[in-house]
Every structure is written in C-alpha cells, then in structure tokens.
Structure 1
C-alpha cells in the first residue's frame, strides 16, 4: 500500500477502536459495529490488493475481539476479514454500475460479517464447545436477538459509508488515479533478506553504478516492457501530430509577484525529443510542470492561454491520474514521486493500471527491475535509498505506466557516467518507438544523438528554438554554453 493509504487505514481503524471501546460503556451492537463502516470506507477509498484487504480485516477483527464486549471474540477474527473481502469484491463489481455502490457494498459486507459471526456462534453451541449451560444459553439468546440488529446496523453502516465517501473520495482522487487489480507477489523470505543485505552494502559504499550491460542489450528489454502497442506506433508516421502544444501560455504562482512563464508558444510533435536549456531559475522546471498538466491540476496559481495534451485541452482531463496515462514525469527530487512502501510496489502500480494480465505484469516487472538495475533493492522502502537509487526507481515507475510522453527534469543528476549512459540508451529506444521525450539535462552533450530541437528558456519566456545540430555545433563543453548569434541572446547557458 502507499504510505498515504496506510495512514488512511490507520486513522479510520483508530476511530473504529474508539467506538469499540465505547461499546463497553454503552452496550449495544449499534455502537460496536460501525467499525465495519470505517474499514469498508478505507477499502473503498484506497482499493488495496487482496492481501492488504485481508490484513485490514484481521486488524479490525483483533480490535473487535480485544476491546469490546464481544460474546465470542475468536469469531471476530473470521467474520471481519471475510466482511472486508466481501466489501472489496462487491464494490469492484458495483462501482461502475450503480451510483451508491459504496453504501451498497458496505451494506452487503455488514450482513456477511454479522451473520458469519452468528453462524460461528451456532456452530460453537451445536458442537458443545462451551460446556457451561448458562454460557450456552447466553450465546443462544444473543444469536436470536442480534439478527434484526445486524440488518438495522447494515442500513446504518451503508449510510455512514456513503455520506463519508462523497467528500473523502473527491479529496483523495485529486492528483491520483485509483489503482485496480491484484497481483500475487511470490517473495521468498530468504530472497528478501539477501536483497536487503545487498542493498545495504550498496548504500554503505555509496554505489550508484547500474549493472554493467551494453546499451545494445537494452533494446529488447524496453520493447518487452512497452509492448506491441509501442511497436505499432513506431511503424506509423505521426510526425505531424502534436503531443503537447502551448498557445500563448502564461503562469503566475500563487505567491508570485510576476509570471514564472510568459507567452509560451510551442508545438511539440509526437515522437520528438526536446531538450530544454536555460540558466538556473529561468523557468525550466515550471515549463515541465506545465507540460505535464501539474500546474493546471495541482497548483492554485493563475494562468492564461492554453495547453493541449495529445489533442485534448489540459483542463478537460479529469485529474492527474487521467493525464498520467499519457505523460510520465521524473524530477531531480524523486522523493515526492515515491509514495509506496517498497520499490517493487512503485513499479507494480504502473503495470497494474495498464490492465495487463497477471503473467504479463510479473514478466514486465522483472524486465523493468533489470533494465533500471533496481532488482537488488526491490523490497526496500524508497525513503531509505540514496539519491541515485531513487531516481532509477522513479524512472522505472514511469516506464511501467507506459506513457506516450516522458518528461525528465534533471533525472540523471545523481547518476554516474555509466548509469547515465544506460538511461540515454533507454531514451533512444523510446524515441525509436515514437515516444515523445522532453528533457532538462545538466549534461546536454549526452543528449545530442537523440535531440531534435533545443528550446531555450530565459526569464520565463522562450528566447529561442533551434535544431539540435545548430545548438551542439555552437556548444562549448568548457563553460557549458552555446554561442548562437542572431538569436534573442548572444549565448545560452546549459542547465545548471
């Protein structure tokens, strides 16, 4: 699960634990059972994998068993996990078919959990597990009285979940799409320990080098990762199709006194590789944020003009999850992008969102881990990694989502020469497949072979757009500048 998702589950289950504790003071199933509404809400909001759904149910069962007046605590350890799984299954089936699917899924889950609990109590009575007559009588009476209460509680829980779901889903859906599907992870304990030990050793020695592989060996792997659709795209001539188009676009940050971008007019074609060049503070990162739709959907500044992404106005995309199917971004600070609890989950999320089969997901996962040389750290929490490792993980996650356009904002800043070469080789293959590439790079010369045009940004506006040949013919490695006479400025510094 994402770190954010763990927090959501924790908060909702904590509230459920408080309600369960109150059931000791104010007896009654109505007080005790809202925990079902809360764990159902958590499941519906985050759509976790099956194993995580079961874990949520087990925790809810433990809470129910330990801090309430449950008549048969062990039964909660079965009824709550089952209720959680039923909730997930019901919501998955109903969410695109009926408008109140969250409430209905909770209603069904409450009934299943409640009557499963009763069924277990009946089995205990009939099997004679409880020898004391008074205890048997108590459980029998409890079973008879609880049935109508379960039904009433199911209605109450469904209303609670549906009411809470409406505002919370809007908040959580902003900036991210929902994850669907479940892929079994066959992780052997010894493999985990060995991977962690190896990764720890790498971190201790500061190792940043990707595994030694010839760039030519990468092509087959990247083709396998992107799939047949990419190969089909490569065969089609779509050089006149716009991938991202700016028309007189300007943007001012909420706290800004002047525009960060001014009058941007640029048409980036599908399959084109654009190198963005300019001094520090010129507006390169803001340009990338705008091209990725992040400014429009995640920032509250003011803008003028339009941006279209693959023929559709950026404002018409529902959220960043929707745009993320088209555009992938890797920033120099990868921390903000890494939101899952393990490296493997970062990559799995993108693959699962593509609707691939379980077998396909597993195969491509292994190829991406090998391609970006992060297999040895696959079970590590991203926040424990070094800067270069985080950048490789962010790139792997981006490749996994299979976008048509990739934006790299100094994404090789913390990689050594060989690792940077591997990334460049990956970009070459993506370009051959007609993927659109936008790059801000500290080492522009590395990009010379695949760059089509260089966009030079100065003080928030485009000061020049030249061919790669013209730029690199005038590029000076000794001071990282390109002397381009006849343009708006006598010289343009490389990214730095």
Structure 2
C-alpha cells in the first residue's frame, strides 16, 4: 500500500516553515491499499498534484513520511524500487512522450529498467493492446489526438509493469471524447492494478471504490461515492459540483422527499427510481 503519515509540504529550500499558510500539504493522513480504485477530488490549488508527486518520490515531505509497501520515499536507497512500483501519468501527455514513434515511446521505460529486448517486445505488444493503440504503433505521436496521446503515455507506464498507477489530472486537457476514452481504459484496468485517479471532474468518481476530497492542502472527507455525494452543501463549499444526475435528483427530492432515499449517481439509477415512483 501507499501510506501518507502526517505529510506536510511547502515549496521552499528552508526546512523551517515560517507561516502555516505557505503549506501546500498539511498533515496528510492517507492509505491507498492494493487493488483499490481511488479518486481524489479537489478544486484547483487544493494540493492534488503535489500529493500525486509524493506517491513515487518526485517530491519528498518536509514533515512526515510516505511509505510504498513499507519503503520510505525519503530514503534514497529505496527510490529506484518505489519508482518501478508506482507509475505516474501527468496532465499533459506531450510532457511524457519523447520518442519519434508510438512503439519506441512505449519501449523507453522498460529499456531504462534494463529489461531484455525479447521481453520489451512482449511488453510493448501487451501495453498497446490494453490501451487500444496497437494499430498506431508506427505513428508519430504528434499526429495523434489528445486522448490517443494520453493512452500512449499510459501504455508507456504499463510497460514498466507497476503495481500502482497514479493519474495526475490525466483527463483535464482532453475534450469529452478523449476523457471518455481514458475513463473507459480505467474501467478496463480496474482490478488488475491499483489506480489512484486525481481529477477535478466529479463525474469521474461515481464508479470509484473510494472518493477522497481535498481542500486547502488537507483531506476533508473520504468514503464511498454515494456517501460523499449526499453531502451536497459541503460539496459546493469545497469548490466542487455534484454530477448532473445527482444534482437533478437533489432538486426532485426537494419536492418529493420519498423519491430518493439516497442520491443516484448514474442515469440508469435516476430513470429506474422515477419509473418506480410513477
């Protein structure tokens, strides 16, 4: 598991924090067990991306520790192992794609790990098939759509066979079609790898095993999607909005309290509840 134990962070060379308001992360306590699909939500500037970069040691805590399967990220002798275990996909795929063809880019990670060539070929084939980009393997990445580029970036991480996949706002620069592509891929990967998806699109959290809300550098709530989304007033206080289906149900429930014991998250649930009510 990935465990945050009292983690605080601020962007300063000085290890002594002058004012608490300068903290980007404040005393974060968080556990991400293996096998879970966890979604972290929060408004811009809440500390989400900073937290993501702590998962594999790209940033190190100023206070507290981050442990990955019992190994602390602030112990340099463990960083190589940790970064093999925790794959990180960034917001902008152009910052992660470096090769001249798709298959060369997917091969980059395993090559740097010293994986034998025969095994690299197998990993390329497997990763491209998983993300649905095998037909584009000879393409130049700059000719791809945003969603396709992000799938290639994910394939490059999967080819290193990590145990944890951290997606740092991986859908934020995509159009609706590209976002749907990535969310479909996440659904496909679910169960085979631990997924920590960081986003400000609340609709992307409805199928999560657990939803975490972050605000002003702190975790302010976590639980099942149904439990979180039933806290409508707090959702808006945290700078988020309910999914359209849940907001519609909330408005209807204000007139017909018996209609929804709990807010539906999917359109199918909303339709079923309305049909049974009629």
Q: Which residue of 2 aligns with 1:437?
A: 195
1:304 is displaced (CA, Å) by: 0.7
* Structural mapping, 1:350-361, within 5 Å: 350-352=109-111, 358-361=117-120
Helix, strand or coil: the match of 1:295?
A: coil
Q: How does 1:366-381 map to 2 (within 5 A)?
A: 366-381=125-140
Aligned to 1:396: 155
Counterpart residue number, 2:87: 328
2:233 maps to which residue?
A: 483
Residue 225 (structure 1) aligns with: none
Alignment partner of 2:62: what SS?
strand
Alignment of 1:299-314 (within 5 A): 303-314=62-73
Distance 2:216 2:170 in 1: 22
Matched, 1:288 2:52: yes
CA contact (8 A) 2:146 2:178 kept: no
Q: Does 1:447 align with 2:211?
A: no
Against the structure 1 CA distance between its residues 292 and 483, is the aligned structure 2 distance closer, same or farther, given a 3 Å change threshold? farther
Cα displacement string for residues 304-360 of structure 1 (whole angstroms, at most 9, x for unaligned residues)? 111111111112243754322100111112233223343222211334466766444
Match of residue 462, structure 1, among 195, 214, 219: 219
The Cα of 1:283 is off from its aligned counterpart by 0.8
Q: Provide the TM-score with structure 2 as the length reference.
A: 0.72
Query: Does the C-alpha gap of structure 1 residues 455 and 393 become closer, same or farther in structure 2, counting only changes over 3 Å?
Result: same
In the alignment, does 2:9 pair up with 1:259?
A: no
Structure holding more strand per residue: 2
How far did residue 269 of structure 1 move? 1.3
1:269-327, Cα deviation, whole Å (9 max, x unpaired):
1112221111111111111111231102xxxxx70111111111112243754322100
Deviations 1:35-57 (A, max 9, x none): xxxxxxxxxxxxxxxxxxxxxxx
What is the rounded CA distance, in whole Å, between the counterparts of 2:138 and 2:80 in structure 1? Answer: 25
Ranges in structure 1 where 5+ consecutive residues have no aligned partner: 1-242, 297-301, 475-481
3-state DSSP of counterpart to 1:323: helix
Cα pair 1:328 1:407 within 8 Å, conserved: yes
Aligned length: 236
Larger Rg computed on CA atoms: 1
Equivalent-residue separation in structure 1 for 2:97 and 2:49 (angstroms)? 19
Q: Confirm or deny: 8 A CA contact 1:275 1:438 kept in the other structure.
A: yes
2: distance between equivalents of 1:398 and 1:494? Answer: 31
Tell whether the 8 Å contact from 2:42 to 2:239 is kept in structure 1 after alignment.
yes
| Higher relative contact order structure (alpha carbons within 8 Å, sequence separation ≥ 6) | 2
Query: Does the 8 A contact of 1:277 with 1:492 survive in 2?
Result: no
Unaligned residue ranges in structure 2 (runs of 5+): 243-278
Deviation at residue 375 of structure 1 after TM alignment: 3.9
Aligned-partner Cα distance in 2 for 1:318–1:400? 23
Normalization by structure 1: what TM-score?
Answer: 0.43
Greater helix share, structure number: 1
The within-5 A match list for 1:95-244 is 243-244=1-2
| Structure 2 counterpart SS, 1:493 | coil
